[in-house]
Structure 1
Amino acid sequence: MQKIRKYQTEESILRFSRAYAAQQLPWFAPALYRCRIVITEKVPIAAIDQQMNVYFNPSVVVKISASERKKSLRELGFLWIHEISHILRRHAERAKENGFYPQLWNIAADFEINDSHWEGLSMPEDFPGLLPKDYLLPNGQLAEKYYSLLGKEGGKSERLQRLLDLVMDEGSGVHGHSRIWELASTPEASSKNEVNEMVLSLIRKEVAEQLKQAPGNIPGNWRRWVNEILQPKVDWRKVLRHRVKMAIQLSVGGRLDYSYQRFSRRQSAYHPVFLPSLSGDLEAQIAVVVDTSGSMSAQMLGQATGEVCGIMKRLRVPVTVIPCDARAYEPIRVNTSSDQIKLYQLSGGGGTDMNAGIEAALALPKKPNVIIVLTDGFTPWPVKLPEVSLIFGIFHQGKTSFPTPPMPPFSTSSVIGIDLAKL
């Protein structure tokens, strides 16, 4: 009980400093007040997980708060903005998408956000953060650029080694790797903050919209972030390729199992005991459901057939195409570029129900690892997740919003907008 009473003091200080940060930088309030405060001695200074639980070391809070009141508020406010910046800037997602080494990425992510100057905030004197200029690196770069610059130095670089010794792990909210001190790994998991991808997307958009209207000098890299959130320029082909690859990697291995249909190659050594051998299909199976209903324009259908061949070429695997309007038609196997002629006249032209195409894909003799649905979005959506990965590529003409499947059970990672105006 004594420990709880002690931490109540630190929590009050942190709540007050959060309110101060929200008063100084009101556009960050939607993110700040969505966070849950967790006080633990297991983090060096402060950290954040992917559920927006923010962890503070109590001794750090006490030491900073012991200084003059305004100074302590400026410094604790800085820590608050620093941690939520990792979430707003999608550092965890970016790290996972590129397979970056967590410790080095943590440094690069800190470089990206620490060079921003915010009125009313200051970096803690007793717990200084990492600044790119202190290591002869330019300001205003993205974390990916800093990661590349640091990586070029090699593991034997004394400067890089000093950096690695200084960096303090800030949790899965920075690099995407869970840590043992995060609530998801503790008995308190049932009481952790619950934040899904849709909530994070809404928080980022709300902060970006308020930041766009903010008076005064806003750091240039945050201006760029606002534009990316409100007017995203996404290479959807790259995103599609990445998500399909991930789905294949997760499912192909699971298709292997031991079978007695063919005995082990080492059978002679174990006679008379019969041993099974591994069986299964190592080749990725991709099904593409193409919306051929009356609402699909000639440009959309042409783009859809082009994307089928693009998927086949980039991933070097055959693709099974299922034309579908209100019903599914005969599947078309596309093995080589010359098979593209099979897609010139796709059956359809009636109503719309992509569920029929998804069901047909699941009923294929070889169950697909991933199903891609190319549609304009004007269709009934599945009410539950299938047992395989399902990705929707939705055609639109320069729109910021377009029809999407229900979230939940689906998530933003299941949807890729294909802007025909930018093709």
Structure 2
Amino acid sequence: MASMNTISPMTEDQSLHFQAWRATALQTMGYMASVMFSLRPVHCSAVDTFAVDPGHRLYINFDNCIPKGPQFCAEGLLHECSHLIAEHSMLAVTAGVTDEERKMWNVAADAAINDDLRDAGCAALAAHGVFAAHLGEPDYQTPLHYLDVLRKLKKPNSQPQGGSGGQGQGGKPTDGDQPFKGCGSGSGGEAGSFELGEDDSLGGAAEPANEVEKRLVRIATAAAIQQHQKQHGIGSVPGGFAEILDQVLAPSVTPWDRVLASFIRRAVASKAGYFDTTFTRRNRRRMNETLRTTGGRVRGRVIAPGYIKPVPSVHFYRDTSGSMRSHDLDLATNEVVAIARKLGIRGDDLVVSDIDTQVHQSQRFTGRDSITNIQGRGGTEMGEAIVHACSLRTKPSVIVIATDGETGWPQERPSVPVVVLLVNLRSEVWKERVPDWALTVEVASND
């Protein structure tokens, strides 16, 4: 938890400076307004310039930033907002970034967004930020690409020559009188010792953004980008931002009402409701009806069928092995949401498990935010998903496995129907290896 002598709410004068920087930033990238206004700015003397945490708390050393001028500071805000909108802290977890690699990741994430910020008109950033050229790589690659490059260099303590603080390079935690030079845990980089805890709102001045708010911010930003492109044309928004936000609004491309229809008819979990009739359940409203002769004599009782509503029980297995890219995982998550919406199921009827060579966490689906945490990132063995589902006390009606296909499969037909979603299939060879007993559906991005 941060000490009060290093972090404090903004003064009135600091607030006026921040508002001016924000207005300047939005003149350059107006579609970033939602994320910009979601920031919780505080003064922090322990950071060099800017840093951010996943709760959208923005740490600013006003004493250092104000002399650098409004343009520098406006671009610094855009830089930190870019980390948040790209969800780099979550992507670092997905990528399996270790604590020792946090500084390298910060550099990789900076290189992945700075080229787009430069293209959007951030001239001050272009003069001293970290770019792909400093790594000997081309622009417009992903943080994962640049991280692989840095890993191969095997020099985790050396940093490419570029800018400093939030705009240029990953740094190190505050050590004595040395300021923290890095973007903070909001970028997936190292967290500064000054960062506020989740339960510390600095007296209400910096309440962290919750998952729902962060999701709404991304949706609003995606909509703003679409509107900007309609008004100014495709290409008016840097490609990296357009691609990131396309994922937010991308609908499922799988017709689940048709794909699972046959399975639903054959293997469903029966629940009380008003949909169909069955003699396995008595009709409570017609329990005392009797058969009588024409003379009125009772000859027996009528057993009336009860009403049921067939509801599928789906266990969704999400391939989280190392070969699944961030965008692949986004597509898989979109399919979970589509199943929930189109089939009207959630909770115990829709369980999501992460799997690489073994099943990790299993979560009852209660909304997209309930499955944002991803575990795994090892090898690949999707057959373990089938073994896991068939060993459950209550077997699901259907198993859905979302994978890039780069896995082996059991040859024996399981006792539960299986749907295999091949996400962004990169080779027809993997499609051919899916057993005939599985229903195969290809899921690709809408690009």
The TM-score with structure 1 as length reference comes to 0.55
Partner AA of 1:208 in structure 2: A
Q: Distance in 1 between matches of 2:159 and 2:30?
A: 38
Partner AA of 1:64 in structure 2: K
Contact 1:114 1:131 in 2 (8 A): yes
Contact 1:205 1:229 in 2 (8 A): yes
Task: Pick one of 271, 275, 287 that aligns with 1:326.
Answer: 271
Task: Pick one of 363, 376, 388 that aligns with 1:391.
Answer: 363
Task: Give how far 1:164 is off.
Answer: 11
Once the two structures are superposed, residues 204-259 of structure 1 have per-residue CA deviations (whole angstroms, 9 ceiling, x without a partner) of: 12212221232263222223223333227899xxxxxxxxxxxxxxxxxxxxxxxx
Task: Pick one of 8, 15, 18 that aligns with 2:19.
Answer: 15
Task: Give how far 1:4 is off.
Answer: 7.7
Partner AA of 2:221 in structure 1: V
Q: Distance in 2 between matches of 1:5 and 1:38?
A: 5
Contact 1:352 1:378 in 2 (8 A): no
SS across alignment from 1:47: strand
User: Greater share of helix residues, 1 or 2?
Assistant: 1
Partner AA of 1:133 in structure 2: A
Matched, 1:181 2:182: no
Identity of aligned residues (%): 20
From the superposition, tell whether residues 6 and 163 of structure 1 become closer, same or farther in structure 2 (CA, over 3 Å).
closer
Identify the residue that residue 313 of structure 1 maps to in structure 2: none
User: Greater share of strand residues, 1 or 2?
Assistant: 2
Matched, 1:78 2:83: no
Identify the residue that residue 209 of structure 1 maps to in structure 2: 223
Partner AA of 1:14 in structure 2: F
Task: Pick one of 370, 378, 385 that aligns with 1:411.
Answer: 370
Identify the residue that residue 309 of structure 2 maps to in structure 1: 351
SS across alignment from 1:213: helix
From the superposition, tell whether residues 213 and 183 of structure 1 become closer, same or farther in structure 2 (CA, over 3 Å).
same
Identify the residue that residue 147 of structure 2 maps to in structure 1: 147
Q: Structure 1 stretches (4+) deviating beyond 6 angstroms? A: 3-6, 156-159, 161-165, 232-235, 372-375, 414-420
Task: Give how far 1:134 is off.
Answer: 3.0
Q: How many residues align?
A: 288
SS across alignment from 1:19: helix
Structure 1 portions without partners, runs of 5+: 66-71, 236-294, 305-322, 328-348, 358-371, 393-403
Task: Give how far 1:390 is off.
Answer: 4.8
Q: Distance in 1 between matches of 2:130 and 2:150?
A: 13
Task: Give how far 1:27 is off.
Answer: 0.8
Contact 1:326 1:354 in 2 (8 A): no
Q: Distance in 1 between matches of 2:164 and 2:47?
A: 16
SS across alignment from 1:195: coil
Matched, 1:37 2:56: no
Q: Distance in 1 between matches of 2:401 and 2:86?
A: 21
Contact 2:57 2:208 in 1 (8 A): no
Task: Kindly report the root-mean-square deviation, in angstroms, between the aligned alpha carbons of the 2 structures.
Answer: 4.7
Once the two structures are superposed, residues 38-85 of structure 1 have per-residue CA deviations (whole angstroms, 9 ceiling, x without a partner) of: 1111111111111111111122222113xxxxxx3x222111110010
Once the two structures are superposed, residues 182-214 of structure 1 have per-residue CA deviations (whole angstroms, 9 ceiling, x without a partner) of: 121785456233322222222112212221232
Q: Distance in 1 between matches of 2:214 and 2:227?
A: 20
Task: Pick one of 67, 70, 91 that aligns with 1:63.
Answer: 67
Matches within 5 A, 1:292-371: 297-298=261-262, 324-326=269-271, 350-352=308-310
Q: Distance in 2 between matches of 1:422 and 1:10?
A: 53
Structure 2 portions without partners, runs of 5+: 1-6, 171-180, 273-306, 316-335, 352-359, 375-399, 403-420, 422-439
Q: Distance in 1 between matches of 2:260 and 2:49?
A: 54
The TM-score with structure 2 as length reference comes to 0.53
Contact 1:48 1:174 in 2 (8 A): yes
Matched, 1:132 2:132: yes
